[in-house]
Amino acid sequence: MTFSSSIRKRAVQLFVIMVVAFTIAIPTVSAQLPQIVVEVGDTTGAANEVNTVISVFLTNYTDSVAGFNIWLQLDRPDIMVFQTDSQTVIDTAYWDCLATDSTGSCLDSVETNPLGAWDFIIIDTNDVSVGSWDSTGTLISGWESVDARSLSGFGYDLNIAAIANMPDGGIVPGIPPQQSNTPLIKLLADVLDVPDTAVDRTVNILVQTDFIDHFNFARPDGSTIGLSYNQVIDTNYYVCTLWAGNVCLNWQRVSTPPADSLAFVADSVAYVDPDSVIIIDGSLTVSQGFCGDIDGNGDPEPNVSDLTFMVNYLFKGGPTPTPLWTANVDCSTDPEPNVSDLTYMVNYLFKGGPAPCAGPLCP
């Protein structure tokens, strides 16, 4: 009895030692949260569908966001384009002077963010391709300046810039640290005529971060969130504009050779830190549609939501089913949804009637 008890005691001690040793051996991992997450939502659309909503979402963990600039590009503009309209606008560009001559005139400059420091502005009148957007129910509802433009001019891309408070405006709060399903902004796009025989029916919506002048999330003080800097060697070129024998009395900086002199200087190049800024690209997939999927949510199984959509369309001036043939559930020769289709849906959902059929007008 004593021998058996001693064995059990030693076994327990050995087990405890093993558990402690295993616990100590497990490395401590401290996950670092990013500062912001920018995500373009995935969605579906039908061929020739207009006003398709592309939602962009923001999660900011630590800082408030008072302004932003993002540039979205499409890899398949043959499938979808951002909705645009040509307008004449007055542009104000803010510039930071990098070098001046002996008279104080600026020799080299770079366009900068109006929320930060700048040296001068340039006002131009331009014909631009303006994108369609909606801020209703979004994180930027009430912001004083929101602008969306297609830099390509054809809707293949969309550059969005927004500022909560303009210099001469009121006081509009920025976006405090938050994690929600509320969109940052909603963009409108048009789906093109994609053939039913097309195998690849998806367009990717890509957030561009390689161009710092088109990617910026700013705090209320104007500083940028999520940037890091690399030190690089920059070559500066100079041309002498006034010689006294072999001595130059005035040097002028130029951007490229030919030059009379050059200097190598260390420069800081900004880039988006992938540990601080997480980018999640989105996509739009053109659905071939399902007969009975009247609300267009991609669910092949008809339900009460589809029935409600049809009632709103037929009797309350609601939106049109897209594509229209998804509501032709009785597969009649009349492609326009009517009371016959409504009765067919009611019988299917509540009375055990036949399912939405498949036919030439409802493939």
Name the residue with higher pLDDT: 108 or 361: 108
* Of residues 132, 111, 107, the one with CA closest to residue 120: 111
Mean pLDDT, to the nearest integer, of 234-242?
A: 91
Assess contact for 203 and 74: CB atoms under 8 A: yes
Please write the tens of the pLDDT for every residue from 66-116: 999 999 999 999 999 999 999 887 888 899 998 888 888 898 888 887 777
CATH architecture observed for domain 289-350? Orthogonal Bundle (1.10)
Average pLDDT value over all residues in the chain: 85
Mean pLDDT, to the nearest integer, of 267-279?
A: 91
What is the rounded CA–CA span in Å between residue 320 and residue 323?
8
Q: Which residue has the tokens 């969109």?
A: 183
Please write the tens of the pLDDT for every residue from 10-47: 544 544 444 444 444 444 444 578 999 999 999 988 78
Cis peptide before 258 (omega within 30 of 0): yes
C-alpha distances (whole Å) from 135 to each of 53, 100, 127, 186, 187 are 12, 42, 24, 6, 9
Q: Which two tokens stand for residue 178?
A: 């938050």
Question: What residue segments make up the domains of the chain, in order of their start?
Answer: 36-226+273-285, 229-271, 289-350
Q: Find out if CATH 3.40.50.300 is the number for domain 36-226+273-285.
A: no
Residues ≥6 apart with Cβ < 8 Å to 149: 128, 129, 130, 131, 158, 159
Candidate from 42-46, 76-80, 119-123, 221-225 with smallest mean pLDDT: 42-46
Assess contact for 44 and 287: CB atoms under 8 A: yes
